[in-house]
């Protein structure tokens, strides 16, 4: 009754089971039909947590659900909505139907608001001067965005998405004749930091008056902070009733934004406000439900609002070839590229995994020992990163972090006497607006000799973070929100980041997490070098497995 392809049995959570039983007790069904009803609802709940917005059902399930009295016959009813919604052959939990429907409705409204622009071609010629042999579409992307309220600029790494949007912002500021109120946002703190760095670097190159440059903001915030998160509730301070004040919102790394958050963002735009989404539609979909950027980019009705940049200005050579082979699911070619070695930019790691990682971490640990400035320490740490597909099991994040700590302790590079030690790198896993720390932020624990000395005469252990504006903040370890050691991180957590070298570690056996989107995302985190730990069997199976998320978002733009 569910079209989601699955080769392994589902492992229903206690919440899936409790939710299904809670609803079945309100149906009046006999025990046999209750059991069948519970199976459908458990599946819907489970698949929602696997990233699907809905499940597809057959006629037998449809008849049973309609007889339950718990299916909303009028989905737009907000007075007393029922918990389940059926549209065509799709079953939704009501909240996720509402997110999907509301998102599509709001975007359709934005499509009806065009913007007439005068002298645009002359301005485009200034911002995008013709270059012989230049074939990329940055100029075309800017022309599209200038005339639309809703725009998507997508493309792989190095295609100039950020540089293009900076020019778009300058164009719009000039066309407006008065200062536009612009917000720049990203899903994570790390992605926000990267966008802020790119905006700052790109503004200086703009062919426009200083007054226009000064109207382009450089500060970038996370989406949760922009919308005013109010944890632990799922609600935000800004919504349709209390919209944001911005004329234009730009969101980078939009592939990471899930259905619920995207729906709430679009809801919170002020009437007449613009939205520009930037991202790589071929990357991993969001951890939560939906594949919003990919779905919107595929919708036929949105093709005049979507531009895909294809020419990379910094991402080329064998790394680009490998990424493209994986994206096209050419597993034999991809494995051959790894095996050929060539100039060394892409190769398999045949030596001792843990010893190699420990050696790559020697530089930043030595800088800590000689009391180098934190900027130097953080730059050295950020040069290299281990990316894993799984959190648990052999060759997982937990496994590698534990073994690397033990190896570094054996080499006397760290003093592993407890949870906290000088040199421990950590990633924040829980947003804390009060501390200005967000999921994905990375810090390093170091002895702070400017603080009160500890009992043994050394500096007090503090955890240092580099903020998007370049400033350094430090916190007592006990004050931090939930965090974890990050000698290795999941590929999901690496989205929005770049490293000179990445070491990609796949498990010894195939599992559902392994997909070509996951591998493509890992590969495109590297700027200079990729090393891979994987068997040919697992690598090839990963390239051949594609993410398929069930949703009705594309269908909502048909007709």
Are the beta carbons of 387 and 502 closer than 8 angstroms?
yes
From 200, 231, 228, 234, select the one nearest 214 (Cα to Cα): 200
Please name the residue that has the structure tokens 């905006």.
199
Sorted by sequence, the CB contacts under 8 Å of residue 332 that are 6+ apart come out as: 540
Residue 267 is inside which H or E element, if any? helix 259-268
What count of Cα atoms within 13 Å lies in the side-chain half-sphere of residue 481?
Answer: 16
At residue 501, the 3 state secondary structure works out as strand
161 is in an annotated binding site: yes
157 is in an annotated binding site: yes
Are the beta carbons of 82 and 28 closer than 8 angstroms?
no
From 110, 6, 14, 13, select the one nearest 55 (Cα to Cα): 6
| Helix 317-327 × helix 331-340 angle, to 10° | 160
- The DSSP symbol for 379 reads H
CA dihedral 370, 376, 377, 379 (to 10 degrees): -160
162 is in an annotated binding site: yes
76 is in an annotated binding site: no
Are the beta carbons of 442 and 497 closer than 8 angstroms?
no
Tally of residues, the chain: 559
Are the beta carbons of 362 and 413 closer than 8 angstroms?
yes
How far, in Å, CA of 287 to CA of 461, rounded?
A: 33
Neighbouring C-beta atoms of residue 316, cutoff 10 Å: 11
Paired sense of beta strands 346-348 and 306-309, if any: unpaired
Token readout for 458 is 């050394």
43 is in an annotated binding site: no
- Strand intervals (E) in 5-87: 55-56, 71-72, 84-87
Are the beta carbons of 506 and 533 closer than 8 angstroms?
yes
Paired sense of beta strands 425-428 and 442-448, if any: antiparallel
Kindly report the backbone phi and psi dihedral angles of residue 191, in degrees, each rounded to the nearest multiple of 5, phi listed first: -65, -35
490 is in an annotated binding site: no
How far, in Å, CA of 244 to CA of 266, rounded?
A: 10
Q: Which residues are annotated as a binding site for ATP?
A: 155-162
Query: What residue numbers does the annotated binding site cover?
Result: 155-162
């Amino acid at each position: 009754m569910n079209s989601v392809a699955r080769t392994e049995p589902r492992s229903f959570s206690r919440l899936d089971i409790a939710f299904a039983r809670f609803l079945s007790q309100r149906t009046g069904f006999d025990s046999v039909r209750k059991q069948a009803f519970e199976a459908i609802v458990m599946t819907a709940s489970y698949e929602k947590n696997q990233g699907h917005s809905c499940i597809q059902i057959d006629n037998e399930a449809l008849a049973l659900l309609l007889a339950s009295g718990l299916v909303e016959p009028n989905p737009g009813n907000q007075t007393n909505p029922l918990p389940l919604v059926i549209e065509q052959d799709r079953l939704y939990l009501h909240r996720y139907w509402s997110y999907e429907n509301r998102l599509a409705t709001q975007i359709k409204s934005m499509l009806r608001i065009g913007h007439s622009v005068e002298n645009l071609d002359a301005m485009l010629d200034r911002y995008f001067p013709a270059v012989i042999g230049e074939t990329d579409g940055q100029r075309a992307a800017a022309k599209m965005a200038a005339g639309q309220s809703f725009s998507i600029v997508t493309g792989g790494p190095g295609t100039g998405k950020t540089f293009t949007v900076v020019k778009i912002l300058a164009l719009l500021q000039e066309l407006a004749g008065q200062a536009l109120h612009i917000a720049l946002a990203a899903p994570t703190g790390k992605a926000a930091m990267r966008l802020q760095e790119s905006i700052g670097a790109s503004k200086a190159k703009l062919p426009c008056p200083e007054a226009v440059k000064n109207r382009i903001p450089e500060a970038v915030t996370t989406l949760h902070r922009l919308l005013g998160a109010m944890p632990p509730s799922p609600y935000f301070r800004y919504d349709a009733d209390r919209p944001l004040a911005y004329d234009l919102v730009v969101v980078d790394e939009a592939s990471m934004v899930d259905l619920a958050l995207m729906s709430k963002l679009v809801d919170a735009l002020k009437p007449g406000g613009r939205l520009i989404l930037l991202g790589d539609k071929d990357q991993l979909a969001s951890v939560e439900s939906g594949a919003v950027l990919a779905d919107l980019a595929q919708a036929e009705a949105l093709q005049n609002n979507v531009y895909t940049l294809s020419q990379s200005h910094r991402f080329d050579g064998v790394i680009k070839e490998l990424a493209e082979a994986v994206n096209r699911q050419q597993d034999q070619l991809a494995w051959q590229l790894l095996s050929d070695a060539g100039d060394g930019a892409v190769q398999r790691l045949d030596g001792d995994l843990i010893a190699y990682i420990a050696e790559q971490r020697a530089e930043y640990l030595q800088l800590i020992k000689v009391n180098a400035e934190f900027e130097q320490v953080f730059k050295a740490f950020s040069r290299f990163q281990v990316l894993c597909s799984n959190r648990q099991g052999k060759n997982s994040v937990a496994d590698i972090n534990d073994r690397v700590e033990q190896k570094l302790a054996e080499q006397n590079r760290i003093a592993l006497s407890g949870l906290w030690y000088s040199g421990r790198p950590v990633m924040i896993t829980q947003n804390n607006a009060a501390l200005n720390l967000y999921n994905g932020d990375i810090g390093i624990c170091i002895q702070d000799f400017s603080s009160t000395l500890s009992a043994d005469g050394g500096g007090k252990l503090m955890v240092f973070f580099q903020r998007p504006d370049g400033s350094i903040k430090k916190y007592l370890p006990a004050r931090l929100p939930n965090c974890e050691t990050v000698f290795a991180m999941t590929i999901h957590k690496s989205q929005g980041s770049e490293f000179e070298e990445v070491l990609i570690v796949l498990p010894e056996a195939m599992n559902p997490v392994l997909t070509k989107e996951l591998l493509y995302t890992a590969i495109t985190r590297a700027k200079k070098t990729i090393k891979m730990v994987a068997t040919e069997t697992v690598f090839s199976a990963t390239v051949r497995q594609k993410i398929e998320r069930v949703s009705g978002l594309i269908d909502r733009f048909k007709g």
